[in-house]
Structure 1
Amino acid sequence: MTESRVKKSILNARVNLIFYFLSLGLSFFSRKIFLENLGADFIGLSGTLVNILGFLSLAEMGIGTAVAYNLFKPLQEKDTEKINDIISVLGFLYKKIGIFIFIAALIISGFLPFIFKETIIPIGIIYFAFFSILFSSLCSYFINYKQILLTADQKNYLVTKYLQSALLLKTIIQIIIAYTLQNYYLWIALEIIAATLSCVLLNWKINKEYTWLKVSISRGKEAYPKNMQIITHTKQIFIHKFKDFLLSQSDQILIFAFVSLKMVAYYGNYTLITAKISQIFLTAIDGFSASIGNLVAEGDKNKIMKIFWEVYCINSFIASFLVFALYHLLEPFIFLWLGEEYILEHTILILLLINIFIMETRKTVDMFNGAYGLFADTWAAWTEGSINIIVTIIAALHWGIIGILLGKIVSLFFIIVLWKPIYLFKVGLHEKISIYWKGVLKYLIVFIVSFLIIHIFTTILPINPKSSFIDWILYATITIPLFSIIYIYGLYLLCPGVKSLLQRIPFINKYIKP
């Protein structure tokens, strides 16, 4: 069973990384083409509409997460009848949610002329973009709901293959349209075409992969009363989903409300870079959640604690690497890529990186809380959301984007940094929380010391990363490996989970003492 989990995780990571590198260069190239030929206002509009409709997707209430959790055991036991029932229930519930989202979107569409009254974009384009994005969103509820089985079964690489292929093809054609025709309608229409194509291909593959899968809305309606535990978990998860939206998906809406539509696009340049850099690591660990769910289901406490610190080591390295690299390289890259006018205040970068560090290091605790089904602390989500809203409104009125980021950081600190680990160790792992804080403190000290050492070194390094892309690459080639070497060595000396993790790497294993 363990070998199967490892193989599936490796396969997921391999496929995700392939598509990551295929899309990385295309993303930055397309962003520049879109900004130059379609304008910052249109790109800002597109991002804002995606986030408005993302707000409606909160009607999903976390049902997908609850279903994935409830699939772990029947998948392990190969109970195909139970799996069919659960997926059918998901289809039954998603149909209701999809109808609700469609009606709510129709109501919101009546207010679009007032929401975007100050934009230079024609109202016809705004409506066409709105309903095209809505169509793509509704596909998840009416057609693509069966993909949850692939995710729970650690076969997310199949989802990646088909969805990312459609996305890459769409982006290439959009680049051609933007550069040659500057036609907003054709550019938007590709959203509908790509969504339809990915739906057809993905469902064909699911039916081929699981020949025994026989799901229907009518079966879901009948099986619904027997699977009320899904609703119980959903009620607990919903407020967490709502809070997560406020913290991670509402930035562009808030920037539009408190600053401007154009600034949505400027800030979007930063988040595009941070998202793409984060994605390379996320793709490598994306299959861990299902694997951890299966591990917890087996119930070996010693193995669970060992894996906890190994996963924390991975996430801590990712967070530290991202913060160091982005702090030293993001602004010079934007300067070379788009121009000096697209660089925001340096304080915004610092706050953005603090937020990234917290969001990356939290993932280990989140994965294990999810594996244990620990969603009952709904008060924490209410508290986190309330702190975020209050601080954001007050601070954003005075400081704009800086205030929005401050609201996120303050709320994350009290709930994600302080409370969530306590909840996991007390209710899930049944261990003393002091074990966690001692381990985390060691990781934090190693990061700060490593960062300061190499940062001081950069002040005497006779290379200006803003001079040219060659100098930027040379600067990165020198500083990032140095930071990584010092940081990893510090982790090896002081931090839990590092040695056992390194022992999993064949060519390193022989040099590590057990």
Structure 2
Amino acid sequence: MVATSRTAKSVKNSAVALGFYFINLVLQFFSRKVFLDHLGAEVLGLNTTATNLLQFLNLAELGIGTAIACTLYKPLFDKDTTAINEIVSLQGWMYRRIAWVVIAGSTVLMAFFPWIFAKMPLPLWYAYASFAVLLVSALLSYFVNYKQIVLSADQQEYKIQYSYKAAILVKTLFQIFAIKYFDNGYVWWLVLEVVFAVIASVALDWMVRRTYPYLETSISLGRRLSRKYPDIITKIKQIFVHKINGFAVSQLTSLVIYAFASLSLVAYYSNYMLIVGGIGALFGAVFNGIGASIGNLVVEKETNQVEQIFNQLFSFRFLLISTLCFSVYTLSTPFITIWVGSAYLLDSTAVWFIVLTMFVGMGRSLAEQFLAAYNMFFDVWAAISEACLIMILSIIGGYFWDLHGILGGGFIGMTVFVLLWKPYFLFTKGFKRNVWRYYKMYALHLAMAAIAWGVSCYILSILSFDSESSVFEFIVSCILYPLIYGFLLFCLLYIMVDDMRILVRRILHFRGI
């Protein structure tokens, strides 16, 4: 019963997140269009800059939410309401302190706005108003919204979508209408941003209180609770390093390309990264919601059963990731040609490295979710080493081989830690199993993917489908290409991999994990 409930919650979390992802994608497309048409690129650029400045200040939060969620898995499973209240109270206390840091940092930063926005053709109050409005929304997450962590850790992420995210979608609709039909459209945009930030926070708080009537936090006990739960503080420091590593790695490539090439090449590269980022967000919408289910699984099950579920999830995710990578490799060129023109294309070698890096990067999340479930964040040296290795190899590669060397260096650096270290760490310290079982499984999956890739390319060459000739043929290609590759790879994995067959039977009979 518990297993079936866990599976049902995972499916519901993923389905709801996916639905909200597509709705938000459509709304953001129209919102950006209306924003540009009625307010202009300068206001949009100001809004983007203010958002980026605030994101930099919010780096102080990195690690707390993840550490609290991982710590909540066991008390939620044991229904230990006292521990749950204490852990969330500790989070509220830490968030309150971070909020004051953000406020202080924002005050100092705003003092420099006359210099930061000196070249801005808009009135300076636009910058202050934009930043202040976005700051209010951010502070609400520290003072009110932090309790949503209980929903996330308890496999009820979908309730966050129904309450908070739904209000944000309604806000976007109102903002589109206000900008399009009212005078002083940006003022209305700012007012609606604040109003709906409050509404969304109230809706989320109501959802949390309704789901957990016993949840009562006491911020004043924070200092005492920090001494009672010292492991949480340790984990926060460890996760902070991992998060900073992820932030640094995501920014390194563009900086190195600019250093060894040009801003134009950075723009070409960013077009491809927009595609990869969109697909990554879609993939995250599907799979991020199962993190709490994995945490619950680790608390309940024995190691043998946990490893079996890991293997089944690995096969399923490998199928999806490989199919997405094949689609990007075969369809990114026609997409960019239709979108911005063939002058912005990168050569096939560069695209290969982008796809390979995408393949490795998307594959890291499964091991990281299981490591989080085991509360294993103490490989801080690996996070620092990964960023350093990627930077060193990218710089060396850029010096000798320009763009190809930069992308190749980043791929090699990421591969060392994602494909070699992370699985080794999980299997030896978490599962307490020989990691060669994983490497053999990975090699078999790679062999099947290579066969499916070659056969798919051969089939597509016979079909002689010109996906660049028109938008219609491109859309047909977007359906046909992943179907051919995905079907071939699925058949090969079903024949050759036991875990894929077990997973299919589990899905058909809806047997829980």
Tell me, in whole angstroms, the C-alpha distance in 2 between the residues paired with 1:129 and 1:252.
27
Aligned residue for 1:17? 18
8 Å CA contact retained: 2:336, 2:342: no
Query: Given the superposition, is the C-alpha separation of residues 182 and 443 from structure 1 closer, same or farther in structure 2, using an over 3 Å criterion?
Result: farther
| Partner of residue 488 from structure 2, selected from 486, 489, 502 | 486
Q: Given the alignment of the two structures, is residue 323 of structure 1 paired with residue 350 of structure 2, yes or no?
A: no
Instruction: Write the distance in 2 (CA, Å) between the matches of 1:498 and 1:41.
Output: 51
Structure 2 unmatched ranges of 5 or more: none
Q: Which moved more, 1:226-235 or 1:180-189?
A: 180-189
Instruction: Determine the structure 1 residue equivalent to 2:64.
Output: 63
Q: Tell me how far 1:273 sits from its aligned partner.
A: 4.1
- Tell me the equivalent position of 1:129: 130
- Superposed, 1:463-474 pairs within 5 Å as 463-474=465-476
- Which residue does the alignment assign to 1:372? 374
Residue number in structure 2 paired with 1:7: 8
User: Against the structure 1 CA distance between its residues 459 and 28, is the aligned structure 2 distance closer, same or farther, given a 3 Å change threshold?
Assistant: farther
Q: 1:234 to 1:449 in 2, by over 3 A?
A: same
Question: For residues 508 and 137 of structure 1, do their structure 2 counterparts lie closer, same or farther at Cα, with a shift above 3 Å needed?
Answer: closer
Q: Any conservation in 1 of the 2:268–2:346 contact (CA below 8 Å)?
A: no
Q: What amino acid is the match of 1:439?
A: M
Equivalent residue letter for 1:103: A
List aligned pairs for 1:268-279, cutoff 5 A.
270-279=272-281
Once the two structures are overlaid, the 10-residue window that deviates more, 398-407 or 183-192, is 398-407
SS at match of 1:466: coil
- Rounded to whole Å, the distance in 1 between the matches of 2:478 and 2:328 is 10
Aligned position for 1:202? 204
Verify the 8 A CA contact 2:337 2:345 in the aligned structure 1.
Answer: no
Cα-to-partner distance string for 1:229-252 (whole Å, 9 max, x where unaligned) = 211211221111111121236778
Counterpart in 2 of 1:452?
454
Which digits, 9 at most, give the CA deviation of each residue in 1:63-108, with x for residues without a partner?
Answer: 2111111111111111111100110000001100111122223333
Output the amino acid matched with 2:235. H
The answer to which of 112-121 and 378-387 deviates more is: 112-121
For the structure 1 residues 443 and 38, does the alpha-carbon distance in structure 2 shift closer, same or farther, using more than 3 Å as the test? farther
Secondary structure at 1:287's aligned position in 2?
helix
Which amino acid in 2 is paired with 1:423? F
Q: Kindly, what percent of the aligned residue pairs are identical?
A: 36
Matched, 1:240 2:273: no
Contact 1:48 1:252 (8 Å CA) reproduced? no
TM-score of the aligned structures, taking structure 2 as reference length: 0.87
Q: How does 1:206-217 map to 2 (within 5 A)?
A: 206-217=208-219
Contact 2:95 2:143 in 1 (8 A): yes
CA shift in 2, pair 1:331/1:23, >3 Å: farther
Deviations 1:388-447 (A, max 9, x none): 444566778999987875664343222222211111111111111111111111112222
**C-alpha separation between the residues in 2 aligned to 1:70 and 1:179?**
46
Unmatched 5+ stretches in structure 1? 510-514
CA contact (8 A) 2:35 2:44 kept: yes
Q: State whether structure 2 residue 417 is matched by structure 1 residue 420.
A: no
Counterpart residue type for residue 200 of structure 1 = V
* Superposed CA RMSD: 3.5
Equivalent AA in structure 2 for residue 297 of structure 1: V
Question: Which has the higher mean CA deviation after the structures are superposed, 493-502 or 40-49?
Answer: 40-49
SS in 2 for 1:362: helix
Q: Given the superposition, is the C-alpha separation of residues 73 and 94 from structure 1 closer, same or farther in structure 2, using an over 3 Å criterion? A: same
1:108 counterpart letter in structure 2: L
Correspondent of 2:225 among 223, 226, 231: 223
In structure 2, the partner of 1:85 is 86
The Cα shift of 1:2 comes to 1.4
1:329 offset after TM fit, Å? 2.6
What SS does the corresponding residue of 1:242 show, helix, strand or coil?
A: helix
Q: Would the aligned equivalents of 1:9 and 1:287 in 2 still touch at CA under 8 Å? A: yes
1:65 and 1:484, CA in 2 relative to 1: closer, same or farther beyond 3 A?
A: same
Deviation string 1:290-325 (CA, Å, 9 cap, x unpaired) is: 111122112412211110111111221221121112
Q: Could you report, residue by residue, the CA deviation over 1:309-368 in whole angstroms, capped at 9, with x for unpaired residues?
A: 1111122122112111222233433444x4428945346644433332112111211111
Contact 1:51 1:252 in 2 (8 A): no
- The 1:435/1:48 distance shift into structure 2, 3 A limit, reads farther
Q: Whole-Å Cα distance in 1 between the matches of residues 83 and 29 of structure 2?
A: 44
How has the CA–CA distance of structure 1 residues 271 and 170 changed in structure 2, closer, same or farther, with 3 Å as cutoff? farther
In structure 1, C-alpha distance between the alignment counterparts of 2:409 and 2:138, rounded to whole Å: 28
CA distance in 2, matches of 1:109, 1:390: 36
For the residue of structure 1 that corresponds to 2:506, the secondary structure is: coil
- What is the letter of the counterpart of residue 158 of structure 1? K
Aligned equivalents of 1:37 and 1:450: distance in 2?
48
Tell me what 1:157 maps to: 158
Relative distance call for 1:44 and 1:503 in structure 2 (3 A) is farther
Contact 2:336–2:345 (8 Å) recurs in 1: no
Counterpart mapping for 1:163-182 below 5 A: 163-176=164-177
Q: Which amino acid aligns with 1:169?
A: V
Change (3 A) 1:54 1:409: farther
* Contact 1:71 1:86 (C-alpha < 8 Å) held by counterparts: yes
430-439 vs 107-116, which deviates more? 107-116
**Helix, strand or coil for the counterpart of 1:88?**
helix
What is the CA-CA distance between 1:469 and the residue it aligns to?
A: 2.7
Contact residue 37 and residue 182 of structure 1 kept, 8 A: no
Count of residues in Structure 1 that have an aligned counterpart in Structure 2: 508
Letter in 2 for 1:432: N
SS at match of 1:504: helix
Distance (Å, rounded) in 1 between the aligned partners of 2:103 and 2:365: 32
Q: Which whole-Å deviations, capped at 9, do the CAs of 1:356-385 have from their partners, x for residues lacking one?
A: 211211121111111111111111111122
SS at match of 2:477: helix
Residue matched to 1:357: 359
What displacement does 1:193 show? 3.3
- Residues 507 and 400 of structure 1: CA distance in aligned 2, closer, same or farther (over 3 Å): same
Bigger Cα displacement from structure 2, 216-225 vs 379-388? 216-225
